[in-house]
Amino acid sequence: MSVSVQRDEWWRGASIYQIYPRSFCDSNKDGVGDLPGIIARLPYVAALGVDAIWISPFFRSPMKDFGYDVSDYCDVDPLFGSLADFDALVTRAHELGLKVVIDQVLSHTSEAHPWFKQSRQGRDNPYADWYVWQDPKPDGSPPNNWLSVFGGVAWQWDSRRCQYYLHNFLTSQPDLNFYNPAVQDAMLETVRFWCKRGVDGFRFDACNFHFHDKELRNNPPFLMDGEVRTAIPQNNPYGMQIHAYDKTQAQNLAFLKRLRVLLDEYKVASVGEIGDEDGVRVMAEYTAHGDKLHMAYSFTFLTDAFSAEHIRTEVENFEARINPVKGWGCWAFSNHDAQRVMTRWGHMLKTPAEKAAFAKLLFAVIGSLRGSFCVYQGEELGLEDAEVPFDRLRDPYGIAFWPDYKGRDGCRTPMPWTVQGEGAGFSTHEPWLPIPQAHQVQAVDAQAAQPDSVLNFYRGFLAWRRNLPVLAKGDIRFMTSPDSVLCFMRSMDRQEVFCAFNLSPEAVEYVVPMPLAALTGHGLGGAEIDVCDAQTKLVLPAWSGFFGKPLAAAD
């Protein structure tokens, strides 16, 4: 990595705000959000205090998976606007001090992509080997036991070629054949296209799905032990396999190195999405040595598993793997693919005060861990998942597994900007997904007027964190504490910050074996300390946190 690239490490410890374009702001009154709508709301995002925006796909697409099925990588779908709108968005974001990260889907295309249309016509055309095609077994069945993430067999029969093609997601999302050098070259050129338009980074979707096992070996069964290991719904057979051969293959590392050379040429950052049973291991592997991805995130904190021990174990495991190889993590508690964290982890909370305290605490936690982190739109309002009736569901994943799993529509409903108005300030037309009343009362304008709101806590905490580089880039060392308390020290350049968070509904009192002075200005209140000799008695109310400095280093 060049010296100039090393200096430009804005992404290290960055806060990244994820925008789901369909649901952010509708400017043309069709009920669907768009790029001009994002531009109109960028001052709000900048005022939040984040470093960057991550925009989910806006490329040309049949929208069977809402943009993650791309039919043209180098154009904007008219639903969202135009290339000129995108250029204006980048310009405005940069004026406001925001970096722009876009969502790039490299592992598969839409069946409507011209490449696939030609590939499926026969076995002797120029694109015949651009996708993963395989003959059936002698009995006509699929080549192996691989399953689709969205349910069912991962192989779809095509009567034109009389072969199966691989699709790790919907049947309308055929997988590209990355063993073909021409495919790699073509996908790198799509990345270059957006680099030239001034993006600052990419979020690479499903980036461990690029390669498959050439021998097409069957995946072994996953022997359930009761532990929640993935974000896959329990009624989805995909979770019944160890996905040893359909993804996360060693050959992917060489491609990621090629990708990194291109990114470094333009000084553009990257974050990879890791969907794997051992996500922490792959995160470390894909960010090691500074020659692949800059950072990566997994579904580690996007499952139902919630405890101080779980957070500590996952972060410690990651740190142990990356310390020798200088990798970097990116954490997320919510995104467009998972039930909102306030529902997953906060389902036991009853009162608005409890919920607000919990939302604030979670943000303080993720903003204090070592690594970069993502904030999903509406998370700063403390939104819970919306209850979307079956007749309004749009997500094919939810429709297939309803009612036990209702899909991702509940976390994708439009952003509530105003308490008044039928469309909550999102649109004057009927929104593509309904906006629940419970969301509208938590709208941006209402919370902006409340000094102790979740929104204003986010703003205050990010402003406070910005003045403590140790929280963005420092080392982390976990400390002994009661079971419900997550406790660690961040340190960098002889500066240390002690962090403790009570992840329980009961107050906790314990002794920290060092004298501490409280740090203020972060917005988490209620903690009490009593310093005596070489130790500090710390009292943490329910859902609260504390930041301090060792007294020797205190101001």
Largest Cα span, the chain? 80
DSSP state of 329: B
Cβ count within 10 A of residue 266: 16
Q: Is 463 exposed, middle or buried (0-12, 13-18, 19+ CB in 10 A)?
A: middle
**Cβ partners under 8 Å of residue 223, min gap 6:** none
Phi, psi of 452 (to 5 degrees): -100, 20
* Distance (Å, whole) CA 300 – CA 255: 24
DSSP state of 24: T
Of 378, 56, 100, 20, nearest in space to 205 by CA: 56
Cβ count within 10 A of residue 515: 18
DSSP states along 500-533: EEE-SSS-EEEEESS-EEE--SSS----EEEEET
Catalytic residue, chosen from 265, 309, 430, 509, is 265
Sign of the C-alpha dihedral, residues 435, 408, 282, 58?
negative
Across the chain, how many H-helices and E-strands are there? 15, 21
Q: Which amino acid, residue 500?
A: A
* Distance (Å, whole) CA 277 – CA 241: 10
* Distance (Å, whole) CA 393 – CA 388: 6
Burial call 309-331: b when 16+ CB within 10 Å, e when fewer: ebbbebbebbbebbeeeebbbbb
* Distance (Å, whole) CA 36 – CA 42: 10
Hey, what are 285's tokens?
């592997």
Catalytic residue, chosen from 85, 205, 314, 380, is 205
* Distance (Å, whole) CA 553 – CA 555: 7
Catalytic site includes residue 265: yes
Residues labelled as active-site residues: 205, 265
